[in-house]
Amino acid sequence: MGQRFLVTGGAGYVGSHLVAALVDAGHRVTVIDNLRQGHRAAVPPAATLVEADIAAAEPVLADGPWDAVFHFAALSLVGESMADPFRYFAANAAAGMGFIGACARHGVRRFVLSSTANLFGTPARIPIAEDAAIDPGSPYGESKHMLERALAWADRIFGMRGACLRYFNAAGADPAGRLGEDHDPETHLIPLAIDAALGRRGPLAVFGTDYPTPDGTCIRDYIHVTDLASAHLAVLPLLDRGSVTFNLGNGAGASVREVIAAVEAVTGHAVPHRIAPRRAGDPAVLVASAARLRAATGWTPRLPGLRDIVATAASWRAAHPDGYGGR
C-alpha cells in the first residue's frame, strides 16, 4: 500500500495536479480546501476531500500519521496583495504559521511548501539562483517568506524538515485532459491569450512594449504544472536528511509576444490584443534557475517547450469552455 499524504489547497490549480500525481502513484491522499478558489471536481474520486480552512485542520492532522504534508492553500494575486496587504498577511502568513505549528504538534516529519519566486523582487542576476537577495516584490511574496522562516524554526526546534519550492508561472494542463486552469478572475497570461484567440473575451492587454528585451515585452519563466507536481515529489527523499530550498523553473523565459505567437500557432486563431501602459513593479525579465534542484534530485521538466505548455492548456480550455462548471 502507498504512503499517506495531506495536501492543503489540493482542489486548486497546482495542488490538484499534485494530488493526481500522488493518486496515480498509488498513494492515499486527503485534501483540505475551502473551495473558495478550488473546485470539488478537480479532486479525484480516490482522494478524500475535507472542505475546511486550514485553521480547522487540527482534527485531520490528529488522524495521522502522515508521511508528508504539502501546503498549497494561499491567496496568490500580487496586485490584490498590494491593495489589501494585511488580508494576505492574515490568510497566508498568520494562518499558515498556525498550520505549521499544528503539523509540528502532531508529529509531521516532512513538510513541502509551495512558495514563490516573488521573494526576489527585481533580481540583480538572471537566472535567479537560491542565494539571490530576498527582497519580496509584494505583500504576497512577503507572506510566503514569512512561512519559509517559520519552517526553518520548525526544523530547528521540532525537527520537522521543510522543503521550500519557489517558482513563478505555473502553466498548462494535465496532458490526459483531467485537470486544467480555472480561476475567477483569471489573471494568467496563457489562458487569457487562449480565451482572446477563441473569442471568449476582449483583446488581450499587453502591458508595455518598451522593456529592454529583444521584442520590448516582459520575459517570464513558464513551467508546466505537471512538471511542478513532479518536482514536489522529487524533493521528498531529501527531507529524510534535512530541510531544503530550491528555485524551480525551466531556466529559459518567453516574452509576452512569444506567448501570443505560440497561442496563435496552437489554436490557429489570431490573438486580438492592445498595447497598455506598463504595470508598476513589473521587472523586465524573471527567469529562475533550477540547476540546484536538478543536481540534487535528477528532476527535469518533461514538457519544457512553450508550445507544448500552450497546447495542453488550449486543449483543456476547448474541452471545458466553462472550466469545472462553477464552484
Q: Which residues are catalytic?
A: 140
Cα separation, 314 vs 296, in Å, equals 33
Note whether 170 and 223 are within 8 A (CB). yes
State the cell numbers at 132: 539571490
Q: What is the 3-state secondary structure (H, E, C) of 138-182?
A: CHHHHHHHHHHHHHHHHHHHHCCEEEEEECCEEECCCCCCCCCCC
CB atoms within 10 A of CB 322: 7
Q: Nearest Cα to 290, choosing from 144, 117, 122, 78?
A: 117
Question: Residue 12: which region, alpha, beta or left (left: phi > 0; alpha: psi -120 to 50)?
Answer: beta
Cα separation, 52 vs 263, in Å, equals 37
CB atoms within 10 A of CB 34: 17
- Decide: residue 106, CB within 10 A, 0-12 exposed, 13-18 middle, 19+ buried: middle
Strand ranges for 21-178 from DSSP E? 28-33, 48-51, 68-71, 110-114, 161-166, 169-171
